[in-house]
Amino acid sequence: MEREETQNRILIAAALLLAAVLLGYHAFYVPQVSRPAAVFVEPDASSQSAAALQVNLNTATAEELEALPGVGPVTAAAILEYREQYGPFLSPEELLEVKGIGEKTLEALQDFVYVEETE
């Protein structure tokens, strides 16, 4: 009987040791973080046309100006009014003088506007 009791104690100790090892492993397990797979998105027609859109501030119509990001009918009218009042733009940065255009709007427009001399 004593031998059987000793065997039971050994089995219980082994089970507890195995449980401690397994629980300890999971308690400190840090899963490997993998990088997400790169996804290629085909640009749609509207984003392609927006990227290709470049407007000369000295010849642009209201419709062309309104196609620019952040420019609506009121801002387009203000740009045209400024151009009529002060003459051709000398640089895109001169848009800061137009009422309703601040640093953020100018930054958004930088890639879409340019200035070319008119005759």
Distance CA 119, CA 106 (A): 26
Q: Are 65 and 55 in contact (CB under 8 A)?
A: yes
What pLDDT score was predicted for residue 60?
93
Distance CA 24, CA 12 (A): 18
Q: What is the dihedral of CA 68, 94, 78, 69, to 10 degrees?
A: 10
Domain spans, the chain:
45-114
Spatial CA neighbour of 57 closest among 113, 117, 118: 113
Q: What is the pTM of this model?
A: 0.56
For the stretch 8-28, pLDDT in tens is: 889 888 877 777 766 665 555
For the stretch 53-81, pLDDT in tens is: 799 999 999 999 999 998 999 999 999 99
Classified by CATH at the fold level, domain 45-114 comes out as DNA polymerase; domain 1 (1.10.150)
